[in-house]
Amino acid sequence: MNVPMLDLSEQYEQLKPEIMRVLDEVMRSSRFILGDYVKKLEADIAAYSRAKHGIGCGNGSDAIHIALQAAGVGPGDEVITTAFTFFATAGSIARAGAKPVFVDIDPVTFNIDPAQIEAAVTEKTKAIIPVHLYGQMADMEAIAAIAKRHGLVVIEDAAQAIGAKYNGKCVGELGTAATYSFFPTKNLGAYGDGGMIITNDDELAEKCRVIRVHGSKPKYYHHVLGYNSRLDEMQAAILSVKFPHLDRWTEQRRKHAATYTRLLEEAVGDLVVTPKEVDGRYHVFHQYTIRAPKRDELQAFLKEQGIATMVYYPLPLHLQPVFASLGYKEGQLPEAEKAAKEALSLPMFPELKEEQQQYVVEKIAEFYRHSA
């Protein structure tokens, strides 16, 4: 049996007639830039997130960068974030001219550890970027309290967490703003790049809108240095077709996660550590990520059995060569470094079949029987 990490083909076949219809509509309208579907998606995603504003942009990385610039983050500032996430989080901080300050993670959730944040605050700290990794929100009440004490901006990187909740609060409700990615692999994915900023801050929202169009308002009058980073109209049309299915797809992901956990506990006990949904959190399982001894050997074995897996992420950000000048050393953030050696994400998508999951778990159990 072959089990892909992600298979979008069945989803596409189900939605193909409607997707073809809206793409034809966009083509006939000839409104390709910031048209009606962008406006509709911005309104829909904002309402879904209980936010006043949605600002579509070119991708999730630009969303973080634009939000930081709109919040006044720039050269000389420091931004505290997690060491265990995709590069775009820290890359966006650096592109804004600020210094990324990395702190360690909570080993249970893989998310930034609020207990580590306060000690990292200096007089140069301007913002905190918590990342809601794998689909579960970070401890936002604790993070918001730290931000309030120190007068800091909070930009939530929710690229993997659309629809996630924290004690009933949506992504973005406890921060200054939040950012989404619509990269094709995401829970709500386009057929290309796309991103969005959501916020309840009127002034920040207007600044984001100006920055995404070369900093111009009105057109051809430029007051700030902006970018060409607009959500594509055809991608917005595709996302508008997919968006009404998001909650159903999320429930399917959660069902698959529960199945994985049950099967793994039955097959290997506590030999691997399964994801934990913290009380009060609503996990949307962008990824189902286990901690596995002999992780690399297990991954190679599963590949031989036709099972795709991914390591998110093999090298924490504080040890990336591009950030060597920041002076971090191995051993400085031990939980992030340990996670980078143990984390393994199993196949996860709404259309995943239980027999595929059974096969994955059977092969994991087989590997540990033989390796013992």
pLDDT tops 90 at residue 144: yes
CA angle 249, 112, 269 (to 5 degrees): 65
Residue 310 contacts residue 298 (beta carbons within 8 Å): no
Sign of CA dihedral 149, 155, 160, 163: positive
Q: Where in the chain is the domain with CATH 3.40.640.10?
A: 6-102+110-241
* Average pLDDT value for residue range 93-115: 97
pLDDT bin (cut points 50, 70, 90) of residue 372 is confident
Q: What are phi and psi of 112, to 5 degrees?
A: -55, 140
Residues β-bridged to residue 125: 78
Q: How far is CA 172 from each of CA 53, 161, 210, rounded to the nearest angstrom?
A: 11, 11, 21
Mean pLDDT within 327-349: 98
User: In 3D, which of 195, 209, 210 has the Cα closest to residue 41?
Assistant: 195
Per-residue pLDDT, 249: 98
Q: CATH fold of 244-369, please? A: Aspartate Aminotransferase, domain 1 (3.90.1150)
Residues 6+ apart with CB under 8 A from 176: 71, 153, 154, 155, 199, 201, 204
Specify whether the CB–CB gap between 333 and 117 falls below 8 A.
no
Cβ neighbours for 193, distance < 8 A, ≥ 6 positions apart: 58, 59, 182, 183, 232, 235
Task: Give the span between the Cα atoms of 225 and 61, in whole angstroms.
Answer: 17
CATH fold of the domain at 6-102+110-241 = Aspartate Aminotransferase; domain 2 (3.40.640)
Instruction: Give the pLDDT confidence score for residue 206 in this predicted structure.
Output: 98
DSSP letter at 267 equals: H
> 60-70 vs 87-95: helix axis angle to the nearest 10?
40
CB 192 within 8 A of CB 184: yes
Question: What are the start and end residues of each CATH 3.90.1150.10 domain in the chain?
Answer: 244-369
> What is the pTM (predicted TM-score) of this model?
0.97
Of the pLDDT bands very low, low, confident and very high (cuts 50, 70, 90), residue 5 is: very high
Mean pLDDT of 262-267: 98
Is there a contact between 193 and 59 (Cβ–Cβ < 8 Å)? yes
Residue 187 backbone phi and psi in degrees, to 5: -60, -35
Contact 347, 308 (CB under 8 A): yes
Cis peptide before 218 (omega within 30 of 0): yes
Residue 295 to residues 291, 300, 310, 311, 348, Cα–Cα distance (Å) = 8, 9, 11, 9, 18
Q: Which residues are catalytically annotated? A: 186
What is the bridge-based pairing of β-strands 177-181 and 195-199? antiparallel
pLDDT in tens, 223-249: 899 999 999 999 999 999 999 999 999
- What is the C-alpha separation between 296 and 366, in angstroms, rounded? 15
* Sequence-distant (≥ 6) Cβ neighbours of residue 216 within 8 angstroms: 210, 222, 223, 226
Q: What is the pLDDT of residues 298-330, one digit of tens each?
A: 999 999 999 999 999 999 999 999 999 999 999
Mean pLDDT for the chain? 97
